[in-house]
Amino acid sequence: MFRMPVGWMLVTLLAAPTAQAVELTATERTWLHAAVPVLQFAREQRLPLDVIVQPQDTPGHTPMGMAFVDGRCKLVLSMRGNPEAQATLDRMPSGLQGLLVEAIAAHELGHCWRHVSRQWGTLPDSLQDISAYDRVSSENAQLLREMWRTRREEGFADLVGLAWILKHHPQRYDEVHAWHVKLRGQPVVDTGPHDTRVWVQLAADKHRFTAGSSIFEQVQALWLAGLTGGTVDRRARAQTAVPTPTPSGAVADSTGRAGFVPQVQSRQDQARGR
């Protein structure tokens, strides 16, 4: 997700990437061109999505992010004066850039859908967060709660990106999935809100995406599996886990779960006392 930017420039969408109302840089055109199928899908789905190009320099910003303002989603490109926009493309495997940007755009659309459907930050009705952060200060407990809420949303969005690729480019799914494994496994993110490894690992089995009526529904079962631990054998791997400190003072293990594991439990299990 993305913080509220200033000085936006609205790009009129986008059936034809050459017919935009503003002059785009080469890097912006590369990103937008790859995202067009996702943008067209959003329009077909009548999702309230605008594309915004930040005209001012935005060093350090996420090159492509999603904001939600006054009931509308804003796909925000922060690429001017931001070397990361081109560097991100350059780091991608040759020949895969277009598909990866498409997956990123679909990831962002996943965030949009969660907001529009008023579900962002919530758990499914069948689950309840019963985490107790009594080993940290109240300030750190709040940070941990926010981190986990964001991480859950990032997991959902990653699954939407992968489901998009599976639907539209099934023969390239394994390559795109492998990129997600690598990206999300980098140590720099292993304790932060973008550590979505639980979900990305589950998505290695592409047959676990279900045949829901929309791409957002097709990821629900996998997302739920990641929320509740799924079939990933975390206990076995936790035996060899080395805790590492996080900025918030909690610890994380190599399973990608923070040391103070949020307890997400089904309401039925709770009722049974499990």
Residue 126 C-beta: closest distance to Zn ion, Å: 24
Work out how close the CB of 103 gets to Zn ion at its nearest, in angstroms, rounded to a whole number.
Answer: 11
Residue 196: φ, ψ to 5°? -110, 25
- Of the pair 157, 202, the CB lying nearest Zn ion is at 157
Comparing CB distances to Zn ion, the nearer of 96 and 189 is 189
Nearest distance in Å: CB 107, Zn ion: 6
Q: For residue 13, give the nearest of 38, 39, 31 by alpha carbon.
A: 39
Smallest gap from residue 1 Cβ to Zn ion (A): 6
Residue among 188 and 211 whose Cβ is closer to Zn ion: 188
Q: Given the complex with Zn ion, which of 66 and 141 has the nearer CB atom?
A: 66
Least distance in Å: CB of 154 to Zn ion?
5
Q: Which residues bind Zn ion (CB under 5 A)?
A: 154, 157
* Residue 180 beta carbon to Zn ion: minimum distance, rounded to whole angstroms: 12
Which residue's C-beta sits nearest to Zn ion? 157
Q: Which C-beta is closer to Zn ion: that of 106 or that of 141?
A: 106
CA distance 165 to 77: 21
Backbone angles phi, psi at 244, to 5 degrees: -130, 145
Q: Quick one: 154 or 195, whose CB is closer to Zn ion?
A: 154
CB atoms within 10 A of CB 225: 17
112-116: list long-range contacts, CB under 8 Å, 24+ apart: 112/42, 112/47, 112/49, 112/66, 112/68, 112/73, 112/75, 113/47, 113/160, 113/216, 114/153, 114/156, 114/157, 115/68, 115/73, 116/47, 116/48, 116/71, 116/73
- Looking only at the bridges linking them, the beta strands covering 244-245 and 251-252 are antiparallel
